[in-house]
Amino acid sequence: MRKPSDCSHNHEGYCQISSDLAKIPVPIAEDACAACIKQTNFRAKNSVTCSKAIYQLNLVRMPIPQELLDCLKPPTTGPGAELEKLIEKTRRVFSWFCLGWLIPDTFYCGCSSTKTRMNELGAWGCLREADDLAIEILARWIKHFPTVRYIPFVTNILAIYVVRAVVNTSAKENQNG
């Protein structure tokens, strides 16, 4: 099995990506490499490589550029945020018929990681992974409401919601120029 530190960006024990971001050598760390390859933008500028650069800059007491700090903040807009709005609208409609309890509140569903992932993937990434995202959302929903697995076509309906969130995101981006 290949080690995460066998990355092509490992140059003599230093992470080339983090080193370029920090503008100083940043040593390889196995745990960081393992986390980096799990990122949406793996082996590139992502929250792991930025945090390694920030850590090294702190060690040598150098100022941290705002660009590195901004890299750690996940995007707050995108398909994930749009999907959250669509699900909330559906919950409100269900509430009119006393069925709002069928859909978990965002606080209880644990969907923030999926939302962030979708925002990072962007519109095209979400379209490519719509079915996988639908399965991931269904798995979380089953924890809240186990019998949802018996509803016909629920995965297809969730995939349609993901696609609709992408359409809404694209429309907003086109509207804003």
Segment 79-106, tens digit of pLDDT: 999 999 999 999 999 999 998 888 877 6
pLDDT: which is higher, 120 or 160: 160
For residue 1, what pLDDT is reported? 44
Q: 8: Cβ–Cβ under 8 A, 6 or more apart, which residues?
A: 43
- Look at residue 165 in the predicted model and tell me its pLDDT: 94
Q: Work out the average pLDDT over 13-22.
A: 90
Nearest to 94 by CA among 102, 82, 86: 102
pLDDT of residue 44: 80
> What is the dihedral angle through the alpha carbons of 139, 43, 165, 123, rounded to the nearest 10 degrees?
-150
The residue ranking higher by pLDDT, 44 or 64, is 64
